[in-house]
Structure 1
Amino acid sequence: MKNSKLLSAFKSNSLNLNNHVVMAPMTRSRATGNTPNDIMARYYGLRSSAGLIITEATSPSKNGLGYPNIPAAYSNEQIAGWKKTTDAVHKNGGKIFLQIMHTGRIAHILNLPEGGEVVAPSAIQAAGEIFTSEGAKEHSIPREMTIADIAQAQDEFVQAARNAIEAGFDGVEIHAANGYLAEQFINTGANQRSDNYGGSTENRTRFVLEITTKIAKAIGSNKTGIRISPFSEFNDMLIFDTMQETYTYLVEQLNSLDLAYLHMAGMSAKIPEGYLQELGAKFNGTVIYNGGLGYDLERAEKIVSENEDSLVSIGFPFISNPDLIARITEGAELNEVDQNTMYTPGEEGYLTYPTLENA
């Protein structure tokens, strides 16, 4: 791609990147025992040509480990494990943020370590099933969080952010999307509280704004990003009447924090046409637009060309193409993703995709 804006360097007050391409966060379930390991370091190291890598969702606590074999960032062992990944990425000249995610009600008690508990804004069971060691099960019914539980969860997010910096990450992304705990507070289908964390737009966005403010204060606003997904129904989220008003308010409040970026997931066909661009225009800083509905190079190029201070995050193609940037540059054919090995243990479908060099 000649004269590509997508492949050109990007610089903002918070980010200094080799290109405008972001590797989107994608769960891969290779963290045996919830601890990052050597094959994860190799996986991310191979993809360091992305302008920015955002890791798979990482739990700040035992309560947030709703899926099997997802990583965490609350123990010394986990910090040491993640240090292998950041070293590998930085050695190859890349930048990497840790995505912090608490699963909330998208969980089953069988997946949690000893001492873990399924908690959420309200005691409302999520529809659908989740994979466990005993096969597919309905989601566990969560216990409604007390004010003390909310304060504890926020502290866990902040400590995970501090741990990420200790592990060598360039920053963190707060996962307030895709139906997990932070978005559960925002969404009226999952949050039916009557206290200061439920009801009005201001109350439902309070949890997210508080943890974002606390993390920005703890590690620096220039190292803090956030991901949202308006109009997504993933993980039993409800498209509610005041959704546009709610997310407009949230973004306007985030503006006061001078964050590294706002990452918006476009994974729903029900997003009103042009809405994400309108929302992005309200944010005073870098916006990462996510493909969501499919990888389209021309669309990605158009987004970064037409929207100043914007980046594009790409998901699936990075799974099967560790050298995706080189393939885009050369106009080379892409490897197809093997859906059967997306979440299976070990190196197959994780470290076995060929690069152009060794194809």
Structure 2
Amino acid sequence: MGGEIKLESTPGVGSLFRFDIVFGLPAANAITLPAEVAPPTRVPHWAGERVLVVEDIAINRTIAVALLQRVGLSVGVATQGQEALDLLQKEDFRLVLMDIQMPVMDGLTATRAIRAIPRLRHLPVIAMTAHATAEDQQQTLAAGMNEHLTKPIIPRVLYATLSHWLPPIATPPALPGAPQTRTALPADWPELAGIDCAAGLELHMFRPELYLKSLYAFRRDFSDTMARIRAALAETRRLEARRLAHSIKSVAASLGIRELAETARQIEQALTETADQTMPEALLAAGEHELNQVMDGLAGLPPLTSANEPERTITDEMLASRLDQLAASLKRADARSEQLCEGLSKDLAGAPEMTEQEQTLLREMSALIDDVEYELALEKLQQLRNRLLEQAT
């Protein structure tokens, strides 16, 4: 095909493959995916088995929860290892997907603590991390984890691993609701420099709305990451700089932002391998350029939803039931809280009793749920419930 492939490999660090192939330009300058029919999606399916996702980065949690709920699993979430231990003491889970690098308590420490609890000694714990070297895998196994998945998470690999440790009820001919064609991105999407949208959309199960939500979250949470890395280095907070580089590497890879992910990997590697406080300026400058380029493109993204929300048709009894369901879900740290909150927001859209104060409470509660701050979200829900139901009476 007239192309060229290159390989760079360092023992104990990893390998980098590059290839170049020349193609003609499409007639229209638009971001689309191939329209040909894809093979039916054959994936296992579960019957509501409860699994726990332990992940400190909101975007990664959202993607993981969507992948798991898609195949019939019930998902609980924790943002760090100590939260995971607390949940495991209160509730039974069939399997744990554990990130490694997290604040408060990392995944390796949490897994050792899990293995010290007799009833959890044989609970499957699967590493789900951007740490990808052979040494990283040896560390996860030594800590008591059963298997090691590398981010970005590829759906078919995730499902195959889950099937091994948590047998599914069936493997249907094709997953209900799964796309049989490769969905093109909406026509109103701008050109996104530095982003392989085809790869990002595939990692989001060809769901443009879910991918758009992740891109919005990346723009919100990571726009100043390179500046924060520089500040951390200036204050000799080397571990913090490495944590930031690791986080943006992990998320960028899951969104198809490949050049930025690779530069962040190099920054993280440099911060890991060298003991002094110096960092190649060219590497930091490259990261800043790539991040600014991506953010400039994301500024032109279409809104998350363009449709007008329907008028409220819910009765007061139904509203009370919706509020009770969401409260119960928040108390269980259930990932379905986000879906229940979205449903509640739609039910209340356009309702005359929704004053600015109630709308603010609803927005604040939704933001807290997105950040897995379930206890604080429950407090906001109680305040909202009191105001709405007082008005009803």
TM-score higher than 0.5: no
Specify which structure has the higher proportion of strand. Answer: 1
Q: TM-score, normalised by structure 2?
A: 0.28
Higher helix proportion, which one?
Answer: 2
Which structure has the larger Rg?
A: 2
TM-score by length of 1: 0.30
